[in-house]
Amino acid sequence: MKTLAQSYDPASIETPIYQRWEAGGWFAPQGNGPAYTILLPPPNVTGTLHMGHAFQHTLQDALIRYHRMRGYRTLWQLGTDHAGIATEMVVSRNLASEGKGETRDSLGREKFIEKVWEWKGQSGDTIERQMRRLGASGDWTRTTFTMDPMAVDAVAEAFVRLHEKGLIYRGKRLVNWDPVLKTAISDLEVENREVPGHMWHFKYPLAGGETYEYIERDAEGNVTLRETRDYISIATTRPETMLGDGAVAVHPNDARYAPIVGKLCEIPVGPKAHRRLIPIIADEYPDPAFGSGAVKITGAHDFNDYQVAKRHGIPMYALMDDDARMRADGLSYAESSAIAIRAARGDDVGDVSQVNLVPDELRGLDRYEARKRVIDTVTSEGLAVTDADGQPVVDSKPIMQPFGDRSGQVIEPYLTDQWFVKMDDLGRRGMELVESGQVKFVPANWINTYRHWMENIQDWTISRQLWWGHRIPAWFDDAGNVYVARTEAEAYAQAGLTPGKGPQLRQDPDVLETWFSSAMFPFSTMGWPKTELQADRGFEEFLPTSVLVTGFDIIFFWVARMIMMTDALTGQVPFRDVYITGLVRDKDGQKMSKSKGNIIDPLDIIDGISADALVGKRTTGLMKPTDAPKIEKATRKEFPDGIAAYGADALRFTMTALAGQGRDIKFDMARAEGYKNFCNKLWNATKFVLMNTEGNAAPLLHAVEKGPPKGADEALSTWPITDPEKWILAQLAKTSAEAAEHFANYRFDLLAQTLHEFAWNELCDWFLELAKPALSGNDEAAANSTRHTLLYVIEAVLRLLHPVIPFVTEELWQAVAPRLGIAGETIMTQPYPQAADIDAAGYAQASQDIEWLKQMVVAIRRIRSELGVPPSKQVKLLARDGGAETMARLQRFDAQLRFLTRLESIDVIQSEPPASAAARVGDLNVFVPLEGLVNLDAERVRLEKELKKVSIERAKSEAKLSSETFVANAPAAVVEQERTRLAEWNAQFEALTAQRTRLG
């Protein structure tokens, strides 16, 4: 039989317990129950466990453990993502630090990928080790890496099938381009930051010196400006892109420009001999109230302009290369300008990819240097809009600028050949699956975010200019024809060519973005598309999964794409429920980030960290090293002694308690400390129970089925005997029912509250105290019954808490279970408590009686506390005015009241009591005589203060209820509540007045 340590020490129990769990194979699907599956959002293989992981993994693990205990055949499908960009950056940094002069490019593709796999073997499982430390009970034997052969086959098959359906195509479109990494990136990898910026105002002269009457009006239609102009003015934050303008757009309802719509204007930059003309067009995009109301359209360098250009058939002229430098390739400026002028006049000029409208003197320049020169050129020609003093108008204002989240470089909208997924039909189907309820969002309001994305869906860019990842299964011949195939051999067969003989094929060098392979994760982990592998992995059993737990920030990037891809390729939905969590922020509500220096490592909460080590962790590797002193100061102020070791259970309970249904979750370290104290209290309560039941317990089974438990000895044929036992069993049944409801509704915060309230307050604070009179009394049957109840309830509460705090409950259960004759190697396979386990219907009266007893104990203890009576000193209690039921309770609980409140005697009186401290419990007035206990003068002063306070509150209530407006307009329930309050204040006032009168 297990012996518990003297005190709770999470560091000494958690790792050994986890090792036993994993070695025992308890995380694998077991039994014949219905399937319950959760798909872990695969963290990056380069990553380490952060607070968001700890939060979501805790909730997923709690669901898995709960359903495992409910008899479900549970699978928590684990895995990691190959993280194309992040992994290439990590390995490239490692190569640089080795000092051998090796780089990604010097090694070449094959050798570099070998280095990546080498790194993966050495360091790629860091986050999985950290997940184990948190207590993740996923099936590690099934963990899937998105570059594993099974996943590689599934991704290639998905690409080919989607291409065969006409859903994947290759084309030239505008993408987010990172000029440092030299690859397209997704919107999620773009960080939009507010930075200081400028807006320049320039004049575009009308062709041929044409003029028009420009009129501005105020809101009432009064003319405020009337002048003749020979130009249209535009405002831009990126003057270098003027070189690629294809048009100037105005709103069709903007009367100022109606006379010149359809005319041509001249771009005020470039060699004068070849100045380009562009059309002035009408489009809904420009906002007449913003700037001049006219917008230059540069389709190849702005996403909004791209859409306008597509609508109007305006050519898109690329100005930059993949380094974000001004292009130096293509046709000469003169040739390019001639083509563009023809296009402006309406000619079909065909493919313009070779057109380079960068003047010779700007070719090859960095984009920002080119910007300066364009500004200087336009200004020197007098084509800058000027103010009243003749100075160029330049607005200094904050602008939103896109940065690559990995490189930190400003992102360039870039027109390039990429692979895309057509999203129109897929998007409509994805919306249908959610609207029909086949996939349900929790909380339900997140369907609005999903709907917004789906209604504004664009074709999905899936190719990346990287080496590490799923290489695109497409091959090109010398004529540029493309062959999409599962294998190279299949591609050669399609092309009618022979490998190694005659013309050869070359595979597309690009890889698929990681979101594409992640979209296949629900079924690529289940052996799809290979029938035998699907049977082995449980495809039919575990898909659809039961719930996805994820953040709101990837509803579109991952959730929606999994829904669409799983349906398109398997005919299934990937999951039934989508539980959307909030974002874990610091205690002040700030987003945790390296630059802010407020990141908390979950493992530091579990294992602790010194102040110096914490400062070092937060100030190392900053993008702005100058922020280090500020971060150090803030860190030492918040954590002067570092972070104490709270253990995994305390962190898990904290995360569960914080899991409300809002967008933001403020993490406060004080909560972790509080929940460690909870675990400590649970430990001490269990030791108390074991100490008081040693050698006295007969076997008990879990279920109490309408009578004594099966296996109980004859002495327990009337179990439970005492009212406190019946009360705690009724509370246990109620708590079990509430826990089931909260799990079903994903209300983890309410679950934590319910379990904490029962374990801390009702079990530890009350039942352990209420049990003491029976344990120390002369009634052997009551004592035996109480011992069994203590064991039964503590064992049940350990099972109730296990999904949330698995380590401490396992350790304690191993010591408790043998006392009840419960067989089993681990708590995680024991049944989760159900309300139906206990027939509590007959315990209603006992429950009411115990609630009365608790009120009595609280009232008497409050009197003792207010009077400053030492705990060891006994006092007398006088009682008066109670009805028959109350007097019967007073007699029945005489021994408990004496024991719990240190009473010398309990006497019922009919007359006025002597000078006493008084309280009222229901219809009963109780008095503690003051003689020999307190200074009567001090007690008179205390009562005067209480009377004054109660008088003020009573007057407030009376004032409210005397107000006709309040009574007439407030909800009836509110008015009734106020009347109840007034009655309570009146009763208190009367009792205090009587008490004061008794003191003379």
Q: List residues forming the annotated binding site for ATP.
A: 594
Peptide bond preceding 398 in cis form (omega within 30 of 0): no
Q: Is 213 exposed, middle or buried (0-12, 13-18, 19+ CB in 10 A)?
A: exposed
CA angle 822, 826, 829 (to 5 degrees): 85
- Residue 898, both tokens: 């004496």
Measured distance CA(307)–CA(619) in Å, rounded: 43
DSSP category for residue 294: E
Measured distance CA(182)–CA(74) in Å, rounded: 43
Check if the beta carbon of residue 560 is closer than 8 Å to that of residue 430. yes
255-279 as b/e: b if 16+ CB within 10 A: ebbeebbebbbbbbbbeeebebbbb
Measured distance CA(331)–CA(427) in Å, rounded: 40
- Residue 93, both tokens: 């940094």
For residue 563, the one-letter residue type is: I
DSSP category for residue 438: S
Query: Which residues have C-beta within 8 Å of that of residue 223, sequence separation ≥ 6?
Result: 215, 216, 217
Q: Which residues are annotated as a binding site?
A: 594
Return the closest-CA partner of residue 267 out of 383, 354, 181: 383
For residue 10, the one-letter residue type is: P
DSSP category for residue 759: I
Quickly list DSSP for 31-59. SSS-EEEEE--PPBTT----HHHHHHHHH
DSSP category for residue 760: I
Measured distance CA(849)–CA(921) in Å, rounded: 12
Measured distance CA(344)–CA(351) in Å, rounded: 15
DSSP category for residue 758: I
DSSP category for residue 762: I
For residue 70, the one-letter residue type is: R
Which phi-psi region, left, alpha or beta, contains residue 963 (left: φ > 0; alpha: ψ -120 to 50)? Answer: beta
Helix or strand run (H / E) with residue 679? helix 669-693
281 φ, ψ to 5°?
Answer: -120, 160
DSSP category for residue 665: E
Q: Which long-range contacts (CB under 8 A, 24 or more apart) does 772-779 make?
A: 772/899, 772/900, 773/895, 773/896, 773/899, 773/900, 774/722, 774/724, 775/692, 776/899, 777/895
CA angle 140, 146, 150 (to 5 degrees): 80
- Residue 616, both tokens: 């070092």
Q: Is 218 exposed, middle or buried (0-12, 13-18, 19+ CB in 10 A)?
A: exposed
CA 416 to chain centre: 34
349 φ, ψ to 5°?
Answer: -100, 0
3-class secondary structure, 688: helix
Task: Compute and round to an integer the Cα radius of gyration of the chain.
Answer: 38
Residue spans of alpha helices (H) in 70-125: 84-98, 104-107, 109-123
Measured distance CA(988)–CA(979) in Å, rounded: 14
Residue spans of alpha helices (H) in 745-805: 748-756, 768-776, 780-801
3-class secondary structure, 801: helix
